[in-house]
Structure 1
Amino acid sequence: MTNIAKTKAGWYSKFKAFGPGILMASAAIGGSHIVASTQAGALYGWQLAIIVILVNIFKYPFFRFGTQYTLERKKTLIEGYGEKGKIYLWVFFIMNIFSAIINIAAVGILTAAILANILKLTVLPSLTPAAMASMINMLTTIVLVGSLAMMIFGGYKLLDSSSKFIVVSLTVATVIAVVIAMFKHHPMAPNFVAPSPWKLKALPFIISLMGWMPAPIEISAINSMWTVEKQQEMKVPRKIAMLDFNVGYYVTTILAFVFLALGALIQYGTGTAIKGASAAYITQFIKMYSSVIGNWSGLLIAFIAFMCIFGTTITVVDGYSRANAECLRLIRKQKEVTTADFNIWMIVTVILAMIIVFFFAGNVAAMMNFAMIFSFVSAPVYSYLNFSLVKDNSKLPVWLWFLSVAGIVYLSGFTIFFLVYLSGILK
């Protein structure tokens, strides 16, 4: 075998060994990137880039612990919570049930909004906003039931293989759009005044931006379980498994900037009213691509975005259900989670998520904002759970220890500030 052939074989084996890190990226590249990051750029230009940098840096240790702890201890974070104390396990379990229902409902309704736009671009061009809102509820049911069926019949292998294609496709399309936009003139609106995000009224948007950036922290425990699943499928060396995690995390971080750039380069300052995280904004999102790549790309980008968010939906249906089933197993001291147990958790979680969706009556913006803000407010608890577990069982490098403490302070500080803001004390 030639050196070139050996190199190709080596890279192929590494890519084949990738899985949990790319799954995490698939779960992350959804509402936080397509909606929140793009809107941040469209509304405030590059001003919120610092927030994107900080939240990705300060959340890094808590996501890393999901992979690191599992590789070192040969057990999941959730098993670690149980060993540390029942109170830790119960806190995670109760919060994760709420996170599962809310986040699955949010990504399901966003997937349905993109699907409704695809239908409007193809077979239903005269679809009115009112009819679209009504259709979104029906499509959300189809999306969630479809995700459930795919997981029941396809399982982890389907999730593992499809996520790589979805992440790569959206990455390539978005990078192309941003590169073209950099060399294309977009005139500013006359008398445009740049809005400032550093005012109290912008705080809810900043909190929602950070809530799912790059993903809710509880995904780290889910990623821990995917790591175990991958190790059962094939023995992945620790070095490759950590590379998988880092590649996935770095990709989500870089893409957050790419999507922010998309909004900053194309929509910012043009005078176009930026819609909320709604079906109407999805239409704007698709038009951003077609305005720089060409009208022909609109349907293609809509399809790729749909596949990306649908991939996120499938991923979180699997992940949250897997985590909750494992929590209940440990509480009941069962030997293992059976396939039936896992399927029941998926079915019940999807049903509850659909009830939440119908409660919001197709209001994508309200559902998304609620889910993102809830994820941020709960982040300090999840981050402390991970840090307290790993620091007791591993000798952390000094830089990682300080970064973890700084991360908890950052997340807790913003959460307290936001709760004070909600109380009405700050005017």
Structure 2
Amino acid sequence: MSSNRKNLIKALGPGILFASTCIGVSHLVQSTRAGADFGYGLVAFIILALLFKYPFFEFGSRYTAATKKSLLEGYLAEGKWVLWIYFILSLFSMFTVTAAVTFVTAGMFNNLTGLTLDPTYVSGLILLFCTVVLAIGKYGLLDAMLKIVGAVLLVSTLVAFFASIAKGRVTPVEGFIPPEITERSSLIFIIALMGWMPTAVDLSTWNSLWAVERMKQIGYTPKLKAILFDFNFGYLVTAVLAICFLTLGANVMYGTDVELSGNSTTFSDQVVTLFTSALGDWAYLIIATAAFSAMFSTTITVVDGFGRAMGETVRLLFFKEADSKRTYNGMMVTVSVISFLFILLLAANLKDLVDLATIISFLIAPVIALINYRVITSKQITEEFRPNQRLLGLAKTGIVFLSAFAIVYVIVYFFMG
């Protein structure tokens, strides 16, 4: 094996964690729901979100390759006020995001085990387990575990996707009337869909934090090419699977008048049934295991990501001499406890909880996008690491795109009621 290929393989890890974060609610819930409700009508919105958000996630990995530091340190270098903006915006999103992904995971657990436990309290146990595992195992255990889970999910999803294509779409029930994209409820859902497609823009800081941690783990500093290869691989996987889940929803549920449930356990059974409708009942246990694994991987990466990002933010803002491990563990516990309280308050309807989390993520996206653009074009980045004009042009267009849809949402929500 050539040294270049070995270096690329060494760098693999953060991109897989990024993919594991994405392939959860945005894919299993939102993409599936998009296909089930609108057929292939929302494919363009998914592609646009993937395209126009790409630069801002890539900038996180690029910054670390250029400076060997996390993007959060880049925010601080631009001014303490920039890091404060990130901190305040994260407070609005991190608890709803963590609550949403954990509640879906609890439903997947009940579906897999056949238990009828209250998903609210199952969520609490999952959060507790994730926090303890991460406090003990840190990055190394997370990295190793998610590479296995990711491979299983990728293979099972692709098999189900091709099987559903071969089988063809279900015949719509007589009198079926498809929803109009221009309806108020449809527009709100489209914003929610793009809010987490492939994930929230503020999670771009996680890429850089994981890249820094990967460097510490392997005792090696990958070059820009290797770090971007790792990120692009993870991003491509999330893009492909988003279309796969939408296709499964469109082929198996669109036009059947079967509505995806707001109950997390019932919804989980519906998602697994999507796969078995394409593959056969023999695959139920395999798919149920893969679906739970996917959601659990999302939950544990979200707990790790928010714990790591907010722990480092708190350290940089308030306790510069503090031990980073201590702030990491402290923020993990804080995120888990408050997120559980959110679940207690909002768990009556899964779709409402998910929509709230995804819409908040989309509304703050333009601000984070602007900050990332500012950092990557600053004097912190030497010429050899700067993005080319094509990528910067895409980023500028992306800022306009994210801002325009945020404004559309505000207009639709407050003035079309």
Q: Decide: shared fold, TM above 0.5.
A: yes
- Secondary structure of 1:194's counterpart equals coil
Q: How far, CA to CA, are the matches of 1:338 and 1:285 in structure 2? A: 39
Q: How far, CA to CA, are the matches of 2:321 and 2:288 in structure 1? A: 44
1:204 aligns with 2:195: no
- Secondary structure of 1:215's counterpart equals coil
Aligned pairs (5 A) from 1:210-249: 210-234=194-218, 235=220, 236-249=222-235
Q: How far, CA to CA, are the matches of 1:308 and 1:405 in structure 2? A: 33
> Contact 1:136/1:362 (CA < 8 Å) preserved in 2?
no
**Out of 389, 403, 419, which is 2:410 matched to?**
419
Question: CA 1:378–1:292 in 2, change beyond 3 Å: closer, same or farther?
Answer: same
**Which residues of structure 2 form unaligned runs of 5+?**
none
Q: How far, CA to CA, are the matches of 2:353 and 2:343 in structure 1? A: 8
Aligned pairs (5 A) from 1:20-419: 20-120=14-114, 124=115, 127=116, 135-185=118-168, 186-234=170-218, 235=220, 236-276=222-262, 278-332=264-318, 334-335=320-321, 337-393=323-379, 394=381, 395-419=386-410
What CA RMSD, in Å, does the superposition of the two structures yield over aligned residues?
1.8
> Contact 2:188/2:412 (CA < 8 Å) preserved in 1?
no
Q: How far, CA to CA, are the matches of 2:57 and 2:250 in structure 1? A: 28
Q: How far, CA to CA, are the matches of 2:199 and 2:77 in structure 1? A: 26
Shift of 1:13: 6.0
Q: How far, CA to CA, are the matches of 1:292 and 1:330 in structure 2? A: 50
Question: CA 1:60–1:252 in 2, change beyond 3 Å: closer, same or farther?
Answer: same
Under a length normalisation based on structure 1, what TM-score does the superposition of the two structures give? 0.91
Shift of 1:276: 4.1
> Contact 2:65/2:223 (CA < 8 Å) preserved in 1?
no
> Contact 1:97/1:324 (CA < 8 Å) preserved in 2?
no
Question: CA 1:401–1:361 in 2, change beyond 3 Å: closer, same or farther?
Answer: closer
**Which residues of structure 1 form unaligned runs of 5+?**
1-5
Shift of 1:348: 1.4
**Out of 8, 12, 17, which is 1:18 matched to?**
12
> Contact 1:35/1:277 (CA < 8 Å) preserved in 2?
no
Shift of 1:157: 0.3
Question: CA 1:171–1:198 in 2, change beyond 3 Å: closer, same or farther?
Answer: farther
Q: How far, CA to CA, are the matches of 1:15 and 1:114 in structure 2? A: 32
> Contact 2:64/2:212 (CA < 8 Å) preserved in 1?
yes
- Identical-pair percentage: 36
Q: Structure 1 stretch 10-19 or stretch 351-360: which is displaced more?
A: 10-19
Under a length normalisation based on structure 2, what TM-score does the superposition of the two structures give? 0.94
- Secondary structure of 2:129's counterpart equals helix
> Contact 2:108/2:264 (CA < 8 Å) preserved in 1?
no
Shift of 1:218: 1.4
Shift of 1:50: 0.2
Question: CA 1:12–1:364 in 2, change beyond 3 Å: closer, same or farther?
Answer: farther
